[in-house]
Structure 1
Amino acid sequence: MNDRFPDEIDEALWDEACRRADAIRSFLKRNPDGATAADVSRLAVEMDVSQATAYRLVKLFRAGGTVLSLADRKRGRPEGHRTLDEKREEIVGTTIKKFYLKRTRPTISQLVRDVQTNCISAGLKPPHRRTVVARLKDIDLQKRAKRRGEQTIVKATTAVPGLFKAPRPLAVVQIDHTKADIFVVDEETREPLGRPWLTLAMDVCSRMVTGFYLTMEAPSRLSTSLCLLHSVFDKSAWLREREITEPWPVAGLRDIVHVDNGPDFRSRAFKRGCEDAGIAIEWRPPGEPHFGGHIERLIGTQMGRLHLLPGTTFSNPQELGEYNSKRHAALTLRELERYIALDIVGAYHQSIHSSLGRPPNAVWREHEGEIPLRLPQDRLRFWLTFLPEQERTLRPTGIHLFGLRYWSAALNTDVGRSDRRLLVKFDPRDMARIFVRRPSGNFVEARYADVTLPSVTLHEAITARRSLLAKGRREADTRAIVRTAIAQRELVEAATKKTAAARRSKASSSKSKVDDGGWGSLRGVDSSKPVPFVEDTD
């Protein structure tokens, strides 16, 4: 199909095309049942072209039926024509795939050098830079940008045909993860720990944040589940613990959750838990960025706010410059969590949203009376469904988990009655209590065996345990340990040698007694004298 329009054709070329069209129309009328070579030869003379060109023009006119189909195309090599031989084409394609389409983003100059090196190594003439660049242009721009991690190009080349809307609050909630653009420090040492992961949930209708979870661990079923639990339950107590006075009115089961195709969202426990509570899961369709666009924009907004904090990594190296994020890091994970919560309830929820033209909190309050507040019928069971679990043996001293010891009076009758390991559910955000499934099938709450201990997170408990082990290693006298080990080794070797020698001596003595009737050798002894009696002490 010709991609040009009649008014785009040069005047002289158009006139020539019209002349040829008239000649071919007359030719076809004269020869409705087919033409001989002589007829085509006369047509070629009339149009002042070669006989082969006449055949070609007749064929084009039959197919197109328009003057435009006869307009001369641009001279030169046809578009898409390739001059490289098959071997060099293969080298160029393979090098682009293996070397250029990587997230390390090598430059075109590096690619050209690599292609040329590979061709020379194969004994072939290297292609020109223009040829290599042409092959890059043959690759779809968005596909190329995705393989190289060029997100700016990906967004610029992605069509967003429409907006996704929800009819009412909690009809659709979107959940996603991101690595926070900031370093946090250890609670005790204040040394940099690393960059935490943030899991956010947002209501599509009102744009309210329904909940979040901050952790040092990579995205998993755990972070997804804890974010969902934070979204569903009332947050009053949670806010009081963090000394936050602004309200966060969002609570209740949502109808649908929108998530991406990550394995954490595909886990059996997460799927079954949602199904059990009547929450439908919809995974983001490939190639439809607007499906999760709301939560992605929210994440971008939250990361932008973190760029004001000490220890920020910003969004790209150009913004970072010479700023040393680790050296300037100042906030602990708990402090960053409180900062994010304050920002959500005190700033984001109260500010005018660009898409809504109103604050999210105002939209939520407006529809609050229309929202069917669905809460789990059995709140404890719903909560336990999404909590992580371990199996532990019930000892006389209680349940031991992550270096912490737990006890409940309800476990008294189970001690020593079964060898079966018990299922233990725990909340990583508060390790002061756990839930143990007894052999009867019922869950009981167990708390610290030492009731004076304060509540800590799982991360804090593991970090403290590592610190104690490290302290123990530092306090150990390594030289004394090595000296002792060598002395023990020498002792064992000497004892082994002594024992072996004694056994050989005993074996030799026993053999002599057997050979001489038990009296030893009489050679060289005066047999006329009596042999003295020797008592056998063995």
Structure 2
Amino acid sequence: MASERIAKHRAAVLRPILELEKRGEPISAAIGDAAWELGLAKSHTWSLYRRLRENDARATALELDRRGPKPGSKRIAQDVEIIIDESLQCYYLVRERSSFLRIWREIRAECEAKGFQPPTRKTVKARLDAMDQREVIRKRRGAEEADKVFAVRPGRLRMLMIDEVHNLLAGSYREQRRFLNMLRFLANDLCASLVVFGVNEALEAVRGDDQLARRLDEHYLPLWEDDVEFSRLIQTLIAAMALEQRSGLTVASLRTILKVTGGVTSRVFIMIKSLAVDAIETGEERITDEAVQAWQPVWTKHAWNIPRQPAAAFG
């Protein structure tokens, strides 16, 4: 399951910090680096770390919880939903728009008059945020203004690619709903293909909208392996560093890079860039086998140690 994969990845990143804490070393900087690697807010990373520590470092403690109500359940009565919808149509989706407070009071008064439990302000606000934004602007500010805001027309945009979508989790629930609602608009009204990228937490971000999540297929980038393709990647990266001298790394050094980075693309990039910077600062102007063997991750030598099975040698 995706939830299990995410939990195992988080645990692998956070477990080394437990060892640091056992030795009495400060861990604030380590938490910050872990937050960067996981693509999470530092406060969220602290919360995950405490859960891992309190559950004997078990990865299952970090599995994702499904957000929202259970399938088939209802938060409020259908009659109340109808009152909310009619009130929004009457008071909100008009040129002479009322304030949110007045709309909520009208809804509450009508519910009480009919003997229903009134919805909270948060519930009504959530209904507002979930509305089709183009339709909202059209009714409140006119079709011309809506056309200006949503200038892109169906057929002109074929594909929209969004990177680091996991950062959506850093926003409030309201902000997440607005963003996901906008993605639905782009996918539906513009007839555009939608592609989003991110770390494992991207799944959690997209699942905030069940309809959108069902439309997106999940694809995972495989880790690099000990093969010719990885060798070509390293050669390409080193060539891009524009060092003055040629870096002729041995197969042993390539395997060291693979072992230290765990085959994760972003880590490989970081390591090669760091080695290139060191080569320039020392005047070596090339990445040597000795430099590869001596290189350590920035915040702790234990952070990126990922056990790997032996693979075939480079061709």
- Give the TM-score normalised by the residue count of structure 2: 0.28
Structure number with the higher helix fraction is 2
Which of the two has higher C-alpha Rg?
Answer: 1
Q: Tell me: higher relative CO, structure 1 or 2? Use CA pairs within 8 A at least 6 residues apart.
A: 2
Structure number with the higher strand fraction is 1
